[in-house]
A and B are shown apart, each in its own frame.
Chain A
Amino acid sequence: MKSARTIFENGQHKWIALVRDPEKPDFLIDTNEYLIIDGEEALLCDPGGIEIFPAVFSALCTQFDPRRIRHVFASHQDPDIASSLGLWLEFNPELKCYLSWLWTSFVPHFGGNKETFIPIPDGGMDIMVGGLKLTAVPAHYLHSSGNFHLYDPKAKILFSGDVGAALLPQGGDGLFVEDFNQHIRFAEAFHRRWMGSDMAKRDWCARVSQLDIEMLCPQHGAIYRGDDVRRFIDWFANLEVGVVR
């Protein structure tokens, strides 16, 4: 089972990270899911693949009633992002899924109907969860051609999808990045290969540099916090991407 770790809490406003399932079969990539709660409502970021649904669901239930999840945010269209959508809809058929307009006719293959999906325009949009205003930040071509990250200005947290992801070796299961230089070695090959556009990368770096970020939460690997956020953005800005090596 995954563990549910509260990474931010201020009154009724919470971020819970659902991470690290020791029983996960090794042929499935490890993923992080994030639940953003404001009072009675919640949004689930990248709910995960169908095969890891039991682990995500059981961990989430220890903290929150899954029937109160009103929204799902899908950073992009990959199966490890949203193939569990049909199962989440079993608990709340009224659930709304925010995702790039580009994928609104592709992702329904995982579940849902016309009413389920709220297309995010290329420039991004605000998403209300309870009284909280979140912003979908464009991250196109990083790595998907229709890609968004989610920024919470109150918590100063950026959910960064595959950007910042690291494929950690066995035993490297810390929730936060503790030694940036050690950690980034496990992120390098992934970013070089998966991030396809240098121009998109520079654009993203410029955009997020203007945001006040205390935590950068990727979908795979450890969370960057404090000065490591700036370190990561600078490292990424200088990384040669879109190459096979």
Chain B
Amino acid sequence: MTSTANDRNAGFELRRIVRINEEIKSVVATAFKINLMAMNAIFLAKRAGQAALGFGVLSNELRRFATDLQGQMSALRQLTYGSTAIVNALVKQARFSRILDRAREQTTGKGRDILDEVVRGHHDVDLEEKRSRLKVVNRRLQQMLADTTQLVELGSVLARSAKIEAAYSGGFSASLTQVSSDFENTISLIQRSLEALNKNHREDQG
């Protein structure tokens, strides 16, 4: 791959990382919101007493879901950080390669042999090694996105179950239905973010 192509790739990777980080921020903010909503729901279920026991259990699960989601996002962020570090090294190396290419054009005789030796010696090997590390990180990123999608699916199921439980909560039924609908809507926001992330990732991978 030429150094210009490397630069283009690096720019592309950085833009991709920025997009992922933006989605992560949005999911983290939503997960925090779900956590607060679940805490309120737990209090509400307690007030409703025996009739809302099932709703209370589901609210607890939704709270755990929000915490797991935050943990997942933090791991995802770690991955994108690792990815940025590799891309940064690739950018630096691409610049070095570009300058060494220019030096090679201008240099004759023994100097050119020395340059060739350096470039052959470790530059290409190193570049290949970084590219394959980036591929590994990207695969892990894809796996983690799939895991997160599953986790959010579980959240969505919990919200739907909470809605059913709300219907059997006697006098508190209306307010608990409202709360469970809020859960459902908020989790669907996360699903949309994840769909966008997955779509971008699939397109970027080609």
Q: Main secondary structure on chain A at its contact with chain B? A: helix
Say whether A66 contacts B111, CB under 8 Å.
yes
Compute how far the CA of A62 lies from the CA of B110 in the bound complex, rounded to whole angstroms.
9
Q: Main secondary structure on chain B at its contact with chain A? A: helix
Q: Which residue of A lies closest to B115 (CB)?
A: A57
Interface check B99, CB cutoff 8 A: yes
Residues of chain B at interface, number, CB under 8 A: 18
How many residue-residue contacts, CB under 8 A, span A and B?
Answer: 47
Considering only residues 84-111 of chain A, those with a C-beta below 8 Å from chain B are 86-87, 90-91
Interface check B109, CB cutoff 8 A: yes
Say whether A65 contacts B110, CB under 8 Å.
yes
Q: A61 to chain B: which residues have CB within 8 Å?
A: 107, 109-111, 114
Say whether A91 contacts B118, CB under 8 Å.
yes
- Candidates A53, A55, A58, A87; contact of B111 at CB < 8 Å: A58
Q: A51 to chain B: which residues have CB within 8 Å?
A: 99
> Known: A86-B96, A87-B96, A90-B96. Is A53-B103 also a contact (CB below 8 A)?
yes
Interface check B130, CB cutoff 8 A: no
Q: Which residue of B lies closest to A64 (CB)?
A: B111
Q: Interface readout for A26-67 with B: 1 if CB under 8 Å, 0 if not?
A: 000000000000000000000000110111011011100111
Say whether A54 contacts B105, CB under 8 Å.
yes
Say whether B106 contacts A58, CB under 8 Å.
yes
Interface check B79, CB cutoff 8 A: no
Compute how far the CA of A14 lies from the CA of B182 in the bound complex, rounded to whole angstroms.
80
Q: Taking the nearest CB of chain B, how far is it from the CB of A90, in angstroms?
A: 5
Interface check B53, CB cutoff 8 A: no
**Could you show 29 A-B contacts with beta carbons less than 8 Å apart?**
A1-B106, A50-B95, A50-B99, A51-B99, A53-B99, A54-B99, A54-B103, A54-B106, A55-B106, A57-B107, A57-B111, A57-B115, A58-B108, A58-B111, A61-B107, A61-B109, A61-B111, A61-B114, A62-B109, A67-B114, A86-B92, A87-B96, A87-B99, A87-B100, A90-B96, A90-B100, A90-B118, A90-B123, A91-B118
Residues of B within 8 A of A (CB): 92, 95-96, 99-100, 102-103, 105-111, 114-115, 118, 123
Known A50-B99, A61-B109; further 12 A-B contacts with Cβ < 8 A? A54-B107, A57-B107, A57-B115, A58-B106, A58-B107, A61-B107, A61-B114, A65-B110, A65-B114, A67-B114, A90-B100, A91-B114
Residues of A within 8 A of B (CB): 1, 50-51, 53-55, 57-58, 60-62, 65-67, 86-87, 90-91
